[in-house]
Structure 1
């Protein structure tokens, strides 16, 4: 009852006399000694007129007696059922229930029943578990139930057992090569961002709307964001202007490479002039985010000062996803056709040709006019003549075909000179090679690094450059010397075409040429194009993601989300530290150091503070160089890319910003950064099916907990373990501990190398256990999430989900497995195996749980089950 509720009767009525004075029926005074009989008293009451109050109380009395009778009957029935199931004999007792009702007359009703119960009472089954019936739990239970395929054996095929229903209900969209929970959440996030970017977003986001009105910086940010978005949506205009923006860019590339925009020193030799032109064109491409010849980034000098931002130079991205593709004839043929189409489309050269007119109007008349190049080089060439003057000119189509083949040969040589990805991703010692700035050009004399650096950072030259490969630049030198200049020019033009064709209209030849290649590489249905708004949101996010993250966070990351997520992470760190004391392969000295590194981890949850998501002025300053005008989408994206490259170079020589992030707040992902010794979890991934603040712990620790444990474990995987707690690259474990780790690492390499994927052609491709070893070890951290959940478990708050006949332990592992649900085309699966350090999702589940005995115990797996191998065959790190 509410404390403010009023009593049913007023105080005056409650204190009224219980009985009224009445006269004897025979005229005998009431105070005489003779007492009337019970019959006389009852008759007197019946004959006396009833007051309204008396009537009300009598009705209440009857209702109360009726309810009491029902209660007594139910009680007797329950006792009868209990007696019916007794096994050890019992005692019989008599229970008398007496109900007294008070009105102006007092009535007492007594009911006696005899029941039997066992002595002592023993329940015939365990007491029922309490069930969580909140709206969140009901929705979660429905989601889990619909995702299951209980026809599968969890001990043999847990991935399909946990995800079979979801996989059947979520086919891959025709415009994509894969679709899983990560993609599903990303799509949900984009739909929310789309509302923010729409002009009418104020009607959907009242809080954001009021914020916009009060902050001029928010108005600036939203103007940039929406301007870029709208320029992307204007497909009619993009198709109308065609390839013009890309042609202007590639024409500039040709001019720079030919020296038309630079002052050529006549005192320089031909080789020096060629070096200047090569340097200028690569700097121009890199300033616009177009990869060519080599790549660069900025990060800490992990051998000396991990927080001193230094320039790193590495191998470039290729036109095809990996070097293996250059050995596939069908892929190479398609790639050559794509390059040929780009070269023809982006050829801006013009020449004078003859074209025959309509013979009916002018049968003998030929006109001369300017048209796009049909013959190259211009004939005759060279203009001063040579021994080949009698040869026929090369047709433009034939020339494009020849150059496309030469580009593929050129890229294949670069691929062969590049490090294998398992070394690039998994061996931080082999890829740390600091070189003094003044000596770096010695490896590549065809390139002037001093001029290159001055293009980006005229006041801030790096003292040293870190090379990921000691041989790549010298190999590149030989490749450049063996390559004709027209092939190099064509290579630079096609690099720009591959990078920027997606920003053109869908009706352009350049867009269609690159799309045809992507369709085959990713298994996308030919001609299938996804929702334009979804694409445009992604482009805005990639260009202005920190600004867009401000409004995403305000709508999705409130309440206790950060606190609850942070607790999950810190609980897992605590469980990890406890497990270190029990590892047979890690000695006490190394365990102490490992615990110190875990304590030193920076934990970042939700959104960055540099630029500050909470401060629109900080974000406006971050993006002030990005100019979004009423120009084409192509030009707007180019502006954003140039600004991003400027920010990259301005970091060189400065200390790391401890508040900076490498991901946007809306990103569905997480990461560990070894030099910074930090684990980072954007708000974008802190959403179902990974996380919700009011979920039971076994669900949050099984889903988001495994993400947190994965990133934590990266600090101690095959690469992460080589960085100390300050992010410095050094051997900080003892030799015996390192040897013990190496034994287990070999175990997991061998385990995952036995897994295969279909290549779509009737064959199998093995997972690269060396390439994926770090991520597989990261996945082994799931056991820490399990232990962390167990340590904080409270049976009074973590109720079971309704309608699911599973234990909490089983639901923990189901929550883990369902995070990785994904349908994927064979072509996309092949690309992943060749390029991605993460194993296919099916094996991220099966490989992980087969190494955790607690999984087999939770599902009572037989010792012969596929996912319950003998203990000696498990790869157990923790």
Structure 2
């Protein structure tokens, strides 16, 4: 069999030899030698010397190196000049080999790895409950199986939903002709919805106090909206995406028994209300200064500053949680993150009660819609098509797997790490993190814009970052894991009831922490996900087990590629502690000005260069420019992470005393392999709708510009690929912060 871009050593290759690229032919020969030697001599680690010019190089012939070389070749488009477009060079063939599936809005290397992880989780959750399974794992399997029982979900229709809406939430006016305005109380409705972790109109949560990171505090903010982000509401009232959202609300109301004409009128009213709410909320661009988001006051002051809503009753009722009612007095301190929103909100709350009630319940229904019978999910799919470009729904098992992992992440994570995680990755990550911290420290000494006093405390902050790798140890302890989920009892034949139980549990889990001290070593994510995190208030970096796999990490591939991939991710998260927002927090995770004003001004000038640079990139899929302001923190982290990881790799080589053998069939140096490993992490395709959404709402630049933008500023890259000054990939003007 001979397929484009696939390297195969199977039978004869003569039939398709002519169609191979030079790189592929070279690799096929070397792979054949590798396999032959491995079979005949049982060789597991081999290298041999070949002459290249005047220099003698060693070639790695291990299976791991052969696989790494194969992956590179299947992604690289050697027809593209790396100095003219390194994304197309590194990812050109990957992009051609990965068309976007109908049920996805984009596909990239993250998506591919996430699919691999989710398939593993599916198999684990679908396995029969065994007597050997501990209680926590049994609960995960029960939840998953209840979600997969579509026949029963259809039979029960909306029985559970009806009970919640009528008995707990006061009814939905659009479908209830007996609904009376005099029976509606906004405070009571919002409190009831918060019990289900749904927060329309006002967001209230217990969070770590930014200026005293050892304690928790009640925090109030503008809410999330029904559409992906605020900017969707700032367009023409006849915008196609707004109309798709309105149509979804109308159709779901009709499916729940509303009169079609009444549904059209009521849903138009709630969209107008939501547009007004979006307009009074603060933009993402203006939410990057943490000091401006930190407005502490007492509940008494809150009531005096924002009149027209019974704040004391609202907060005291919300904190009256089952089994742990928390006393709230008028002197209780709260944080207001968006004061301007609350100032204008008081006027909007005079809106007709029917509109407020319809809107509040609509946000609840939209949140649970994906868990309802099939006809509701089909309506959501039509809406998703308008927003993201997807043309079919994702399989049911994916929804169920994600939901189970979200709710019982440590139980699912235990199953995953026991079968699919190599603990050697943990020790190597610890070493790499230490090396990245050392390289960051070296770079600090070279920064001319930073004074000595700030340099010292910045170094201390980097050195004292907590690192969380793979998974929390407690998930392997039967007693501790069972204890974590002791309050949860899922019913095998009542999925929607299980959903509501989970929503209530999430709400309680957050609120009950108000009087608890902060455990900064607590994991804030589940192990079986493909992502990485930095927490400013914890000053911690987290790398779950899910991301410690190819293409990010593999113990069998050259260290140059590991440092280019997971190493840059480590540096990225580390740099978040020093981006435009992270730099406002000290080593203890407290929001305070620990830099001098002069150094802050120099930093902001450096950051401004990054902001302007990325604002000039046009995303071809959407024909729109990147928002350099909202993405500046991520772009600073990308640039800093690349620089730190390359230096860490070079220091690793220097300490080792010699370079690793080269990959078979390729002419790349290890410096070049580093940058290829980096770039191929971001290979991807996206639909125009998704690109549009990404620019409007995303904090990250699209993958193409995470490669191009970062490498535009890298002298190490230009040197490695010998890009002449003034070529596209080596512009004369470069922006650097860290």
Tell me the equivalent position of 2:629: 770
Tell me the equivalent position of 2:353: 485
1:245 aligns with 2:160: yes
Q: Counterparts of 1:628 and 1:196 in 2: how far apart (Å)?
A: 18
| 1:786 aligns with one of 618, 622, 646 | 646
Q: Counterparts of 1:399 and 1:505 in 2: how far apart (Å)?
A: 23
Does the CA-based 8 Å contact 2:533-2:543 persist in structure 1? yes
Q: Counterparts of 1:548 and 1:843 in 2: how far apart (Å)?
A: 34
Does the CA-based 8 Å contact 2:316-2:328 persist in structure 1? no
- Displacement after TM superposition at 1:797 (Å): 6.1
Tell me the equivalent position of 1:813: 675
Tell me the equivalent position of 2:193: 285
Tell me the equivalent position of 1:324: 231
Q: Counterparts of 1:553 and 1:444 in 2: how far apart (Å)?
A: 52
1:444–1:153 distance in 2 versus 1, CA, 3 Å: farther
Does the CA-based 8 Å contact 1:675-1:726 persist in structure 2? yes
1:226 aligns with 2:107: no
Mean Cα deviation higher: 408-417 or 790-799: 790-799
1:547 aligns with 2:411: yes
Q: Counterparts of 2:172 and 2:317 in 1: how far apart (Å)?
A: 14
- Displacement after TM superposition at 1:465 (Å): 1.1
Paired residues for 1:169-568 under 5 Å: 169-200=97-128, 213=132, 218-252=133-167, 254-255=169-170, 277-303=185-211, 305-326=212-233, 327-328=235-236, 329-347=239-257, 396-424=259-287, 426-442=288-304, 443-447=306-310, 448-456=313-321, 458-461=325-328, 463-481=332-350, 483-506=351-374, 508=375, 510-525=376-391, 528-568=392-432
Q: Counterparts of 1:608 and 1:475 in 2: how far apart (Å)?
A: 44
| 1:149 aligns with one of 77, 87, 112 | 77
Q: Counterparts of 2:494 and 2:157 in 1: how far apart (Å)?
A: 11
- Displacement after TM superposition at 1:796 (Å): 4.4
- Displacement after TM superposition at 1:759 (Å): 6.2
* Cα deviations by residue, 1:483-532 (Å, 9 ceiling, x for unpaired): 111111211221122100101232x2x3222221112101101xx12332
Tell me the equivalent position of 2:43: none
Does the CA-based 8 Å contact 2:69-2:666 persist in structure 1? yes
Q: Counterparts of 2:121 and 2:460 in 1: how far apart (Å)?
A: 40
Q: Counterparts of 2:379 and 2:370 in 1: how far apart (Å)?
A: 10
Q: Counterparts of 2:164 and 2:606 in 1: how far apart (Å)?
A: 52
Does the CA-based 8 Å contact 1:257-1:280 persist in structure 2? no
Mean Cα deviation higher: 738-747 or 291-300: 291-300
- Displacement after TM superposition at 1:846 (Å): 0.5
* Cα deviations by residue, 1:683-702 (Å, 9 ceiling, x for unpaired): 11010000012322111100
Does the CA-based 8 Å contact 1:279-1:451 persist in structure 2? no
Does the CA-based 8 Å contact 2:191-2:314 persist in structure 1? no
Does the CA-based 8 Å contact 1:444-1:476 persist in structure 2? no
Paired residues for 1:752-767 under 5 Å: 752-758=614-620, 764-767=623-626
* Cα deviations by residue, 1:377-434 (Å, 9 ceiling, x for unpaired): xxxxxxxxxxxxxxxxxxx22211111111111001110111101222x211111111
Q: Counterparts of 1:814 and 1:201 in 2: how far apart (Å)?
A: 44
| 1:859 aligns with one of 706, 721, 724 | 721
Does the CA-based 8 Å contact 2:615-2:626 persist in structure 1? yes
Does the CA-based 8 Å contact 2:129-2:141 persist in structure 1? no
Partner SS for 2:60: coil
1:124–1:684 distance in 2 versus 1, CA, 3 Å: closer
Does the CA-based 8 Å contact 2:568-2:645 persist in structure 1? yes
1:578 aligns with 2:442: yes
Give the gaps of 5 or more residues in structure 1.
1-122, 203-211, 259-269, 348-372, 374-395
1:704 aligns with 2:571: no
Tell me the equivalent position of 2:48: none
1:731 aligns with 2:590: no
Over alpha carbons, which structure has the higher Rg? 1
- Displacement after TM superposition at 1:534 (Å): 2.3
Partner SS for 2:542: strand
1:165–1:795 distance in 2 versus 1, CA, 3 Å: farther
Q: Counterparts of 2:477 and 2:352 in 1: how far apart (Å)?
A: 52
- Displacement after TM superposition at 1:253 (Å): 5.1
Tell me the equivalent position of 1:87: none
Q: Counterparts of 2:586 and 2:301 in 1: how far apart (Å)?
A: 29
* Cα deviations by residue, 1:30-77 (Å, 9 ceiling, x for unpaired): xxxxxxxxxxxxxxxxxxxxxxxxxxxxxxxxxxxxxxxxxxxxxxxx
Does the CA-based 8 Å contact 1:298-1:652 persist in structure 2? yes
Tell me the equivalent position of 1:167: 95
Q: Counterparts of 1:518 and 1:860 in 2: how far apart (Å)?
A: 45
Q: Counterparts of 2:69 and 2:373 in 1: how far apart (Å)?
A: 44
1:800 aligns with 2:662: yes
- Displacement after TM superposition at 1:247 (Å): 2.8
1:552–1:444 distance in 2 versus 1, CA, 3 Å: farther
1:132 aligns with 2:66: no
Count of aligned pairs: 669
Q: Counterparts of 1:316 and 1:758 in 2: how far apart (Å)?
A: 32
Does the CA-based 8 Å contact 1:460-1:653 persist in structure 2? no
Tell me the equivalent position of 2:44: none
Does the CA-based 8 Å contact 2:381-2:393 persist in structure 1? no
Root mean square deviation of aligned Cα: 2.1
- Displacement after TM superposition at 1:219 (Å): 2.6
- TM-score if structure 1 supplies the norm length? 0.74
Q: Counterparts of 1:635 and 1:562 in 2: how far apart (Å)?
A: 39
Does the CA-based 8 Å contact 2:129-2:138 persist in structure 1? no
Partner SS for 1:790: helix
* Cα deviations by residue, 1:693-749 (Å, 9 ceiling, x for unpaired): 232211110000010000000001000111111111111112222121111111011
